[in-house]
Structure 1
Amino acid sequence: MTTSTTYHPMAAKEVTRFILDQKPLFILDVRNEGDYNDWRIEGETIESINVPYFELLEGVDAVMDRIPAEGKVLVVCAKEGSSIFVAEQLAETGRSDIFYLEGGMKAWSEYLEPVKVGDLRDGGELYQFVRIGKGCLSYMVVSGGEAAVVDALRMTDVYEQFVAEKGVQLKHTIDTHLHADHISGGRSLAEKTGATYWLPPKDAEEVQFAYEPLQDGNEITVGGTRIVIQALYSPGHTIGSTSFIVDDRYLLSGDILFVESIGRPDLAGLAEDWVGDLRDTLYSRYRELSEELIVLPAHFGKMTELGEGGKVSARLGDLYKHNPGLNMQDEAEFRRAVTENLPPQPNAYQEIRHTNMGKITPTAEEQREMEIGPNRCAIHDK
């Protein structure tokens, strides 16, 4: 009798559906222990174990009793090759439900899931692009044959394909601030499409390229139906951080306010200088806004922040009740929370900042390496 050696690739898009649809999936992660502990695929119905690849070179017998007897098993590594080797060995035991992550954790880091946030007045639509493997969130406003993207990621082909499918023209790309945890796609997307690229000037003193300065009170109109994106200066994460109120209903908060935490002020080395700005934005400027606004942040830190369909959002009034970062009435306590005992800074964050300034031009592969790992823009991220 011959033994089956059937195993299959599973794309990041398919893994995302397991998480969002809350279907069980068992993961055997064969990266080294440090990489696994730092960053791995997680979800309410995801179970995973870590057995480094080098421990499986002589066979998988030692790990078989740790793998469920039934159900899909996904083998994960950094780039793909090691997981294929291990998946083949598992399949040789007679299992027909063995998969490997196509493209490895690099592909997982780059996948974007488009989620519709809602309809806007007069026929427009708002979409959130969830970078589920890294916790980044970007947005697209579509209205009257035009579109604007906020906090675009470097995977610009996703946005180009989306506007093509919608049959609209991209008119604006906007960054809420100079990012430090991921490489912005805003400028390159604007160059490809002829759109206008907007950036807060207080974050742009060292940039090496032309941009449209984003000022407090700017109104960027998208489409003939006048879905107005109103800029709101909100410093603290960076000195130029700018939020947006879209359609008088949604607050795009950038990296200032998240669903379960608040932004950190230290990624440019100026935490002591910016902590006062951060508190003023969160405890004064945002307090003046309607509590009915739906907050749409630029990041999430935990899978528990994913709501229906994968959407990350919360009512502003509810955040003032439940978000710990908005409930430190003692200013000294707040200062300590956002300047001391912070999580590690993002991988290669200085190089990422310099890339976003146009000072360096890394290759595509170098950019992937720079972004590997979780986002760490919030003070409570693990």
Structure 2
Amino acid sequence: MTVNILTSHDVTKKVFNKEELFILDVRNESDFQDWKIEGENFEFLNIPYFDLLDGVEGIMNDIPTDKEILVVCAKVGSSMMIAEMLSDAGLTVSYLEGGMKAWSEHLEPVKVGNLEDGGEIYQFVRIGKGCLSYMVVSNGEAALIDSTRMTDVYLEFAESIGAKITHVFDTHLHADHISGGRVIAEKTNATYWLPPKDATEVVFDYQALENGNDVTIGDTTINIHALYSPGHTIGSTSFVVDDKFLLSGDILFIDSIGRPDLAGMAEDWVVDLRESLYTRFKELSMDLIVLPAHFMIIDELNEDGSVSKKLGTLFEKNHGLNIKDENEFRKLVTENLPPQPNAYQEIRQTNMGIISPDDEKQREMEIGPNRCAVR
């Protein structure tokens, strides 16, 4: 029988559409437990590849015959071999093209809204890593916010819609993924913006992203609201676009709030984090649509696969915004935090321009789930 191939785009659509899928993950158990493909109606079986080298007969009763079957491994070779063995045993089966490496790097563009002037805003969902980046498009110009290192995706998308990237922003110095902002700015001759409080150690030129900046993209103005010391960093910054969208960076997520410990400053930054969330955000319109830089769990995806909620809804339902006692809040954001991101110090140094790892090393540094939120 023929073995089929599913791309990361194919699997992403199954996640968005809440389709059923049975995944046989043949990575080591520790890798599977740390990070796997997630979908609302996905089922999983984790059997390490080495346990199947003598044949798949022992697992045939554990694999359904009435569901689509996908075999997954780290890169692709192991899953292809196991898929062929299952096919020879009579099952219709697919393997994931490029394995978890490809899943980690896939970006799925989703339109999240229209602007008053006829422009548009797009969200790029990095489904395997939980990262969210944005392109604001107006009158043939585009601004890119919190881009990943997969720069070609943004460049090709901008070209496909006839837009020129003129501004590139990072809301903060990222610690969980490598930014593509500087590379894109260099390729497009765009202005690269970074909060100066996050840029004290960077070794490149940038435009200072500060409170009160108004940046025009085509016919749309992006208002900069500097909200210091939340998420990861002392300079974390939010944008209001078109008086309609709040790009919250890693300060505020749909189901959680940003963790303040990735620069080793959790105790010092708790007060600032609380002020940003409980005072400054309270002064904004509750009708603003919050567009965060990450999502934590698959349940945060909307019906179309995008991630967004009104600010007022978050003040009603997000536990991190509803802790009246300051000591309780301090405990939440300084204790019982999830493990820190893989290689986060190296990632920060890369984003500062201090080190320049090659492409394969950058892939290794980013493998695994995002861990930007307070649990």
1:220 to 190, 211, 215: 215
Measured after TM superposition, the shift of residue 142 of structure 1 is 0.3
Other structure's SS at 1:295 match: strand
Structure 1 Cα separation of the partners of residues 44 and 74 of structure 2:
15
For 2:78, the equivalent position in structure 1 comes to 82
Q: TM-score, normalised by structure 1?
A: 0.97
- The aligned runs of 1:359-370 (5 Å cut-off) are 359-370=354-365
For 2:66, the equivalent position in structure 1 comes to 70
- The aligned runs of 1:200-349 (5 Å cut-off) are 200-223=195-218, 225=219, 227-235=220-228, 236-237=230-231, 238-349=233-344
| Paired letter, 2:346 | E
Measured after TM superposition, the shift of residue 69 of structure 1 is 1.2
Other structure's SS at 1:190 match: helix
Structure 1 Cα separation of the partners of residues 317 and 113 of structure 2:
24
Kindly indicate whether the alpha-carbon contact (under 8 Å) linking 2:148 and 2:178 is maintained by their aligned counterparts in 1.
yes
Structure 2 Cα separation of the partners of residues 35 and 106 of structure 1:
12
| Paired letter, 1:248 | D
For 2:176, the equivalent position in structure 1 comes to 181
| Paired letter, 2:22 | F
Identity %: 64
Measured after TM superposition, the shift of residue 186 of structure 1 is 0.5
Are 1:357 and 2:357 an aligned pair? Answer: no
1:55 to 51, 58, 65: 51
For 1:141, the equivalent position in structure 2 comes to 136
For 1:93, the equivalent position in structure 2 comes to 89
Q: TM-score, normalised by structure 2?
A: 0.99
Structure 2 Cα separation of the partners of residues 327 and 71 of structure 1:
42
- The aligned runs of 1:165-180 (5 Å cut-off) are 165-180=160-175
Measured after TM superposition, the shift of residue 302 of structure 1 is 0.2
Measured after TM superposition, the shift of residue 49 of structure 1 is 1.2
Other structure's SS at 2:333 match: helix
| Paired letter, 1:54 | F
Structure 1 Cα separation of the partners of residues 356 and 189 of structure 2:
21
Kindly indicate whether the alpha-carbon contact (under 8 Å) linking 2:23 and 2:72 is maintained by their aligned counterparts in 1.
yes
Kindly indicate whether the alpha-carbon contact (under 8 Å) linking 2:17 and 2:303 is maintained by their aligned counterparts in 1.
no
Structure 1 Cα separation of the partners of residues 236 and 87 of structure 2:
51
Structure 2 Cα separation of the partners of residues 134 and 46 of structure 1:
17
For 1:372, the equivalent position in structure 2 comes to 367
Structure 2 Cα separation of the partners of residues 203 and 122 of structure 1:
33
For 2:41, the equivalent position in structure 1 comes to 45
Structure 1 Cα separation of the partners of residues 294 and 372 of structure 2:
8
Structure 2 Cα separation of the partners of residues 352 and 122 of structure 1:
37
User: What are structure 1's unaligned runs of at least 5 residues?
Assistant: none
Measured after TM superposition, the shift of residue 71 of structure 1 is 2.5
For 1:109, the equivalent position in structure 2 comes to 104
Measured after TM superposition, the shift of residue 72 of structure 1 is 1.6
Structure 1 Cα separation of the partners of residues 67 and 327 of structure 2:
51
| Paired letter, 2:324 | Q
| Paired letter, 1:228 | T
Deviations 1:311-367 (A, max 9, x none): 100110110111000011100000010001100000100000000000000000000
Deviations 1:8-45 (A, max 9, x none): 22110000011111111110000011110110011111
Other structure's SS at 2:36 match: coil
Structure 2 Cα separation of the partners of residues 37 and 300 of structure 1:
19
For 2:115, the equivalent position in structure 1 comes to 120
Other structure's SS at 2:117 match: helix
For 1:16, the equivalent position in structure 2 comes to 12
Structure 1 Cα separation of the partners of residues 369 and 95 of structure 2:
21
| Paired letter, 2:59 | V
Deviations 1:210-232 (A, max 9, x none): 00110101011000x2x111111
Structure 2 Cα separation of the partners of residues 310 and 347 of structure 1:
26
Deviations 1:286-312 (A, max 9, x none): 000011111000000000000021110
Measured after TM superposition, the shift of residue 70 of structure 1 is 2.3
Structure 2 Cα separation of the partners of residues 162 and 202 of structure 1:
31
For 2:155, the equivalent position in structure 1 comes to 160
